[in-house]
Amino acid sequence: MGSHTEYLVTDGEKNWQVSLFGQAGSRFRPGMKVRLDMQEKRY
């Protein structure tokens, strides 16, 4: 399912990641956007 998650992510969601995490957003996989949100809160 992990592979499918990447395909399900749209360009709009990618932009959402970039605006929140900047360069880091493109580093992580689109499917991990939820995990990133949790990590950001930890920091």
8-20 tens-digit pLDDT: 556 666 666 556 6
Where do runs of H (alpha helix) occur along the chain? 2-8, 11-21, 23-27, 33-42
Res. 21 pLDDT band, cuts 50 70 90: low
Rounded-to-integer distance, Cα 8 and Cα 31, Å:
8
Please tell me the total count of domains within the chain.
Answer: 1
pTM confidence score:
0.18
For the segment 16-25, the average pLDDT, to the nearest whole number, is 57
Query: What is the rounded (10 degree) CA torsion for 4, 1, 30, 16?
Result: 80
Q: 């969601």: which residue's tokens?
A: 13
Range of the domain at 31: 2-42
